[in-house]
């Protein structure tokens, strides 16, 4: 009897698991054949390839298709290859695709994920309105002296390492620089991550993007069985430390803005002003007009936004700037052009790094953007369909809950849009060469209403860090440097590389 019950249960589980596997076949969308439990995502579940690598692989596997079907376990997803469809999803039809789609079970979202990057709908709209003023040009200029201080510390740290004539991990070096800056402008703290090998702040940063195996298993279980494992937390390993850190800073300020003008100060200021009223994206009155909703910043929301500012602020910038140094190490002629520009601009500004000086470093900016083309920090974008949507040109509709996957990494390497895409050539981003089509497929910072809110801040701190390094040092490959560093298979939203060892040489 028991054997019969188990057999029936297994059969039921099997049919429940494969219930959606004809989803793309019914719509005439090409896709790989899914397998039970894993769908077409087996390599990711087995930690053989990252989500970004899987999406890129599928993009190039079907070169003649505008869209490609995919199954993440039992959930149907659609990989978008066509730039016009991408624009509709990210911009013109945003009202259908405002969801990120990272919450398999939407009624139980853990505290640290209640931030601008992850949340959806009306809460996202409120947070976007509240946080946008923190990233104006005026605020960025006001932050720049903090960057200069950290850039000088970065130079000193690099000089000490150069004297030992040993390889330096550029990934770790730039992460310390960006962590220090984010600590100062976000938290009002001098974390001294650049010089302190045991900095609590730097350890917290590592833990955010290098989760333990238990957390990776948690993520997999939530994807496979979202209802059964809805209470498991992806950021549980850092939640208590994060709340303790932010609450301690707020307590020291008596939970009020004290005029420091850092990120926590601005959020406390918004909280003091009281609830904000918005027009709902999700709820309509009987007349068809959006409902008016009121939101206020709770303590949980403040902690979540601050930790997003910290995690996204240091990780993406350090990834992009260290990979720029990696490419320059293998292209000494381009490195020399960058250094010549930096020297000329600094000479006009009394040899001092400043906001105005960095804005003049055009070739350095092209170089940075070219490095992000070859290795974007975010290898893919994801959007979730929030109501039934019809692809008129393709002749089929999709249901609410289907996720759209846009492979940034693949679009940046597609020879259809880039001549000789494997070549590192900053001149691609000159005004004369950068075409409208390339603007549509260059998505290093995303696009549309959910474009990265801190894109200008990330660009500014990255260029300043690179200018500080390259004005004093040159870089070459170390004996152990790998030409194309592999992506860590467990990395998810941000593409991660274990290390970028380079030799740094003092310029004369």
- Give dist(CA 218, CA 215) in Å, integer: 5
Full-model pTM? 0.90
> How far apart are the C-alpha atoms of 148 and 311, rounded to whole Å?
21
Question: 3-class SS at 190?
Answer: coil
Q: How many CA atoms lie within 13 A of 17 on its CB side?
A: 18
The pLDDT value recorded for residue 212 is: 66
Question: Looking at the DSSP assignment, which residues form a beta bridge with residue 389?
Answer: 398
Give me the count of residues in the chain: 508
Condensed to tens digits (0 to 9), the pLDDT of residues 220-260 reads 666 666 666 666 666 667 778 888 888 888 888 888 888 77
Q: Supply the pLDDT for residue 201.
A: 66
Per-residue pLDDT of the chain (508 residues; tens, 9 = 90+): 778 777 777 777 666 777 889 999 999 999 999 998 889 999 998 889 999 999 999 999 999 999 999 999 888 999 999 999 999 999 999 999 998 887 655 556 778 888 888 888 898 999 998 888 888 888 888 888 888 888 888 888 898 888 888 999 999 899 888 888 888 887 777 766 666 666 666 777 666 666 666 666 666 666 666 666 666 666 667 778 888 888 888 888 888 888 777 788 888 888 888 888 898 888 888 887 888 988 888 888 888 888 888 877 778 888 999 999 999 999 999 999 999 999 999 999 999 999 999 999 999 999 999 999 999 999 999 999 999 999 999 999 999 999 999 999 999 999 999 999 999 999 999 999 999 999 999 999 999 999 999 899 999 999 999 999 999 999 999 999 999 999 988 888 888 888 999 999 999 7
Give one word for 420, left, alpha or beta, with left for phi > 0 and alpha for psi -120 to 50. left
Closest CA to 243 of 110, 106, 135: 110
Q: Look-up: residue for tokens 């592999």?
A: 486
Those residues with Cβ within 8 angstroms of residue 249's Cβ, 6 or more apart along the chain or in another chain: 187, 188, 189, 264
Nearest to 449 by CA among 30, 14, 92, 138: 92
* Annotated binding residue 12: no
Whether 188 contacts 262, CB under 8 Å = yes
Report which DSSP code applies to 231: T
Q: Report yes or no: 404 and 89 within 8 Å, Cβ to Cβ.
A: yes
Q: Can you give 366-418 as a three-state secondary structure string?
A: HHHHHHHHHCCCECEEEEECCCCEEECCCCEEECCCCEEEEEHHHHCCCCCCC
Q: Which of 475, 476, 480 lies closest to 498, judged by CA?
A: 480
Contacts of 10 (CB under 8 A, 6+ apart): none
Which structure tokens are listed for 489?
């298979």
Contact 321, 315 (CB under 8 A): no
Structure tokens at 156: 């000193």
Q: How far is CA 499 from CA 123, 195, 484, 485, 502, in A?
A: 37, 18, 11, 8, 10
Task: Give the pLDDT confidence of 111-126 residue by residue, as tens digits.
Answer: 888 888 888 889 899 9
What is the side-by-side order of every strand in the sheet holding 75-80? Answer: 67-72, 75-80, 403-407, 380-384
Could you state, in order of their start, the residue ranges of all structural domains in the chain? Answer: 2-506
Q: How many Cα atoms within 13 Å fall on the side-chain side of residue 286?
A: 0
CATH number of 2-506: 1.10.630.10
Buried/exposed code over 409-434 (b: 16+ C-beta within 10 A; e: otherwise): bbbbbbeebbeeeeebbbebbeeeee
Q: What's the confidence (pLDDT) of residue 249?
A: 85
- CA neighbor of 127 nearest in space, from 269, 297, 293: 297
């Amino acid at each position: 009897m028991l054997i019969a019950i188990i057999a029936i249960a297994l059969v039921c589980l099997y049919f429940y698991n494969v219930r959606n596997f004809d989803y793309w076949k019914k719509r005439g969308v090409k896709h790989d054949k899914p397998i039970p439990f894993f769908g077409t995502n087996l390599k990711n579940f087995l930690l053989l390839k990252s989500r970004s690598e899987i999406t890129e692989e599928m993009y190039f596997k079907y070169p003649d298709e505008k869209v490609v079907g995919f199954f993440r376990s039992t959930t149907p997803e659609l990989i978008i290859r066509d730039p016009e469809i991408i624009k509709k999803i990210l911009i013109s039809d945003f009202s259908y695709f405002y969801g990120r789609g990272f919450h398999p079970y939407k009624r139980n979202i853990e505290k640290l994920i209640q931030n601008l990057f992850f949340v959806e709908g009306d809460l996202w709209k409120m947070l976007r309105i509240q946080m946008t003023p923190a990233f104006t040009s005026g605020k960025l200029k006001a932050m720049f002296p903090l960057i200069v201080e950290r850039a000088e510390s970065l130079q000193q740290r690099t000089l000490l390492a150069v004297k030992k004539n040993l390889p330096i991990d550029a990934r770790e070096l730039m992460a310390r620089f960006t962590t220090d800056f984010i600590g100062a402008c976000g938290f009002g703290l001098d974390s001294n991550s650049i010089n302190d090998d045991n900095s609590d702040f730097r350890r917290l940063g590592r833990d955010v993007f290098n989760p333990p195996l238990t957390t990776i298993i948690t993520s997999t279980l939530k994807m496979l069985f979202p209802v059964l494992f809805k209470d498991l937390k992806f950021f549980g390993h850092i939640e208590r430390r994060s709340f303790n850190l932010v609450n301690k800073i707020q307590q020291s300020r008596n939970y009020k803005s004290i005029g420091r003008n850092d990120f926590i100060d601005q959020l406390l200021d918004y909280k003091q002003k009281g609830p904000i009223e918005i027009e709902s994206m999700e709820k309509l009155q009987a007349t068809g007009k959006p409902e008016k909703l009121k939101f206020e910043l709770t303590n949980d929301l403040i902690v979540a936004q601050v930790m997003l500012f910290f995690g996204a602020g240091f990780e993406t910038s350090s990834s992009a700037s260290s990979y720029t140094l990696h490419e320059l190490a293998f292209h000494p002629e381009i490195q020399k052009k960058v250094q010549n520009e930096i020297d000329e601009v600094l000479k006009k500004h009394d040899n001092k790094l400043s906001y105005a000086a960095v804005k003049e470093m055009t070739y350095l900016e092209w170089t940075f953007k070219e490095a992000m083309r070859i290795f974007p920090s975010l290898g893919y974008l994801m959007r979730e369909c929030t109501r039934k949507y019809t692809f008129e040109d393709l002749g089929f509709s999709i249901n609410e809950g289907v996720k759209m996957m846009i492979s940034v990494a693949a679009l940046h390497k597609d020879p259809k849009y880039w001549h000789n895409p494997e070549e590192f050539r900053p001149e691609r981003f000159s005004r004369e060469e950068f075409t409208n089509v390339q603007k549509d497929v260059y998505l290093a910072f995303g696009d549309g209403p959910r474009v990265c809110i801190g894109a200008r801040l990330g660009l500014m701190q990255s260029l300043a860090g690179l200018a500080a390094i390259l004005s004093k040092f040159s870089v070459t490959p170390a004996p152990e440097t790998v030409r194309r560093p592999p992506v860590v298979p467990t990395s998810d939203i941000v593409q991660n590389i274990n290390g970028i060892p380079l030799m740094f040489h003092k310029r004369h």
